[in-house]
Amino acid sequence: MPEPHVPQEAIGHGDGGTAALAIGEAESLARAPGAGPPPPGGEPTGKPRSLWSDAWHDLRRNPVFVVSALVIVFLVVIAIWPQLIATGNPYRADLSKAQQGAAPGHPFGYDTQGRDVYTRVVYGARASITVGTCATAGVALLGSLLGGLAGFFGGWSDTLLSRLADVFFGIPVLLGGLVFLSVVTSTTVWPVVGFIVLLGWPQIARIARGSVVTAKQNDYVQAARALGAGNGRMLLRHIAPNAVAPVIVVATIALGTYIALEATLSYLGAGLKPPTVSWGIDISAASTHIRNAPHMLLWPAGALSITVLAFIMLGDAVRDALDPKLR
């Protein structure tokens, strides 16, 4: 394990650069030029505000955040009450209409079984968003907790956790999926979520560990330590906000890949099981019919893309808001 030996004279780069940035057009990036750098610890004088309330203050004014948050709220609402915007029945099949294109009342056409694609896309949101968000939340929590602790404390616990991550990392996802999900017979989404968390956490753990190791070296952390801050306070107030950015970036992309992974598992017969309706099941069923019925693939895949876009944008905005260097 790395036991970093940081020379005291190392250039710190955590002291919040706010002056004009010199590279190319980079100036435009700083949205609040001129704001004073927060003193180490991020507690400005005057009305004491925590980093998190600062972030919230910023976020409310960020149009990217507002739009992506609205999209996500919309998706969550239809995931809970799909009948709000779809009156049809996602199971009703009329085989004589198999793979036909759009028709009045059926804007997205029909799938191989003659089911209405629009209704299935709406109803599929529930399972897919549950898998995506719950698996990402689980992976991010478990991964950053274990990775963060390993990076912060170093030594023995770092070795143990890093090697444990290696053990899980070594398992091919497909093998794990086929085994894990063939042993479990439940038709709910939870086995799939559990499986993704089980195999996904090492990725976040490594990234979290890496950024904690980096953040730990920063001057302000050293300063806080010199001032006698406890481990818990150091982790929560000083290191976590600085280490969370890569985790959020990877987690928001991972959210998309997890929904896609659910599709791949369905393609291999080990994903969600009917009668569950999910984008993954429909995308995998449509994949071999690209030539004859592209609409079967287009709509669920499009819904998936919009969901992923919203989460990535949201993650970006949150990350920016949490980064004290951007103030």
Partner 1 sequence: MRPAVCAKWAGCAAAVALVATGCGGGTAGPGGSAVVSASWGDPQNPLEPANTNEVQGGKVLEMLLRGLKRYDPETGAAKNVLAEKIETTDAQHYTVTLKRGWSFSDGEKVTAKSFVDAWNYGALLDNKQKNAPFFQYIDGFDKVHPDNGKPTAKTLSGLKVKDDHTFDVTLNQKFSSWPDTLGYSAFMPLPQAFFRDHAGWLKRPVGNGPYLVDSYTKGSVLKMRKWKRYPGPDPAQNGGIDLRVYTDSETAYTDLQAGNLDLVDDIPASQLKNVRSDLGDRYLNQPAGIIQTLTFPMYDAHWGKPGMERVRRGLSMAIDREQITKEIFQHTRTPATDWTSPVLGEKGGFKEGLCGDACVFDPAKARQLIKDGGGLPGGRMTITYNADTGSHKDWVDAVCNSINKTLGNDKACVGNPVGTFADFRNQISARQLTGPFRAGWQMDYPLIQNFLQPLYYTNASSNDGKFSNPDFDKLVNQANAAPDTRQAVAKFQDAERILAREMPSIPLWYQNGSGGYSDRISNVRLNPFSVPVYNEITVG
Partner 2 sequence: MGRYVIRRLLQMIPVFIGSTFLIFLMVYALGDPVAAMFGDRAPDPATAAQIRHDLYLDQPLWKQYPHYMGQIFQGNFGTAFNGQPVTELMRTAFPVTLRLTIVAIVLETVVGVALGVFSGLRRGRSIDTTVLVLTLVVVSVPTFVSGYLLQFVFGVKWEWAAPTVAIEAPLGQLLLPGLVLALVSLAYVTRLTRTSIAENARADYVRTAVAKGLPRHRVITRHLLRNSLIPVVTFIGTDIGALMGGAIVTERIFNIHGVGYQLYQGILRQNSPTVVGFVTILVLVFLIANLLVDLLYAVLDPRIRYA
Least separation in angstroms between CB 119 and partner 1? 12
- Number of residues interacting with partner 1: please give it, by CB under 8 A: 26
134 binds, among partner 2, partner 1, none (CB under 5 to 8 A by kind): none
Rounded CA-CA distance 223/210 in Å is 21
Stretch of 36-44, 66-74, 140-148, 244-252 lying at the interface with partner 2 (CB under 8 A): 244-252
The residue among 261, 248, 256 whose CA lies nearest residue 314 is 248
- Residue 43 tokens, joined: 């507690």
Least separation in angstroms between CB 262 and partner 2? 9
Rounded CA-CA distance 18/37 in Å is 7
Of 26-65, which residues contact partner 2 (CB under 8 A)? 26, 28-30
Residue 76 CA neighbour count, 13 Å, CB half = 10
The neighbour count for residue 174, using CB atoms within 10 Å, is 12
Residue 167 or 226 having the CB closest to partner 2: 167
Candidates 304, 317, 318, 322: give the one binding partner 2 (CB under 8 A). 304
Residue 67 or 98 having the CB closest to partner 1: 98
72 binds, among partner 1, partner 2, none (CB under 5 to 8 A by kind): none
Query: Does the footprint of partner 1 cover residue 172 (CB under 8 A)?
Result: no
Q: What is the DSSP string of 172-196?
A: -HHHHHHHHHHH----SSHHHHHHH
Residues 6+ apart with CB under 8 A from 210: 151, 246
SS3 314: helix
Per-residue binding letters, 177-196, with partner 1 (x by CB under 8 A): -x--xx----x---------
Instruction: Give yes or no for a contact between 132 and 256, defined as CB atoms under 8 angstroms apart.
Output: yes
60 binds, among partner 1, partner 2, none (CB under 5 to 8 A by kind): none
- Give the residues lining the site for partner 1 (CB under 8 A): 89, 91-93, 95-96, 98-99, 112-114, 178, 181-182, 187, 268-270, 273-275, 285, 288-289, 291-292
